[in-house]
Structure 1
Amino acid sequence: MNNLTPGLARIRIKNLRARTYIGIKEDEIRNRQDVVVNVTILYPAGDAVQVNDIDHALNYRTITKALLQHIEDNRFALLERLTQELLDIVMQHAPVRYAEVEVDKPHALRFADSVSITLSQSRD
């Protein structure tokens, strides 16, 4: 879904930073680590464009708050699990037609800036 689908707006939440317990090593279980989240959402925005009212738009602030709360209030062994749970939160919003969530774990590897997992889902 690289091209914008006609009639759908693309929302991007870029480099959302949070701290959580992520990993399987003892020090990862004891200490919070940084994660960086990027989200792409496609939804039909025709009503929002016409009416110019938040009640007719997908509220990305509400979604972002839910993502942050979930990250900060839970523990995760695997990056895959965290990514899927965040994708599930985004897809709970009925107007979402497609979502992609990427979660980076900075400094997970010694000679790399980060490791990331990306998952996506679409709705007919």
Structure 2
Amino acid sequence: MTNVSLATITITNLRLRTYIGFNPEETTKLQDVVINIRIQYPAEKAAATDNVESALNYKTITKEIIQHVEEGRFLLLEKLVGDVLAICTTHPWVRYASVTVDKPHALRFADSVSLTLEEYRDGQ
């Protein structure tokens, strides 16, 4: 088995607004969500060559997430997190991704409620 150096891209506190929830007031009012993402991919070539084509483009991934979340409607946090995770793992280089979405003020006495989903892939 070959050792592979994995780069970790971390996107911290991406603050967006979307329709999330199934209670009547949640279906008609935009709510804040806070998204945290970790993506790992092999980056030896990018690190060695400084070639943009050899790196995973986190800006492209983030733009797609922003568009999907802001234009979407979600009944469940699980669906929102799953969709964002699917966007993060579209590129074949991705070996691991973790997405956590916080829904601030979802519970009366808590700062937020969050849900995390992860996906692992074997290297080829």
Question: What range describes the TM-score normalised by the shorter chain of this pair?
Answer: over 0.9
Q: Distance in 2 between matches of 1:37 and 1:94?
A: 22
Tell me the matched-pair count. 120
Poorly superposed stretches of 4+, deviation over 2 Å? none
Is the aligned partner of 1:87 residue 2:85?
Answer: yes
> Of residues 48, 51, 54 in structure 1, which corresponds to 2:49?
51
CA distance in structure 2 between the partners assigned to 1:100 and 1:66 by the alignment: 16
TM-score of the superposition, structure 1-length normalised? 0.94
1:23-102 superposed matches below 5 A: 23-102=21-100
Inter-partner Cα distance in structure 1 for 2:42 and 2:28: 42
TM-score between both structures, scaled by the size of structure 2: 0.94
Report the AA paired with residue 85 of structure 1: D
Please report the RMSD computed on the Cα atoms of aligned residues, expressed in angstroms. Answer: 1.0
**Which runs of 5 or more structure 2 residues have no equivalent in the other structure?**
none
Unaligned runs of 5+ in 1: none
Q: Distance in 2 between matches of 1:74 and 1:108?
A: 19
Cα distance in 1 for partners of 2:104, 2:21 equals 12
In 1, distance between residues paired with 2:120 and 2:68?
22
Superposed displacement of residue 6, structure 1: 5.1
1: distance between equivalents of 2:66 and 2:44? Answer: 28
Q: Distance in 1 between matches of 2:71 and 2:49?
A: 36
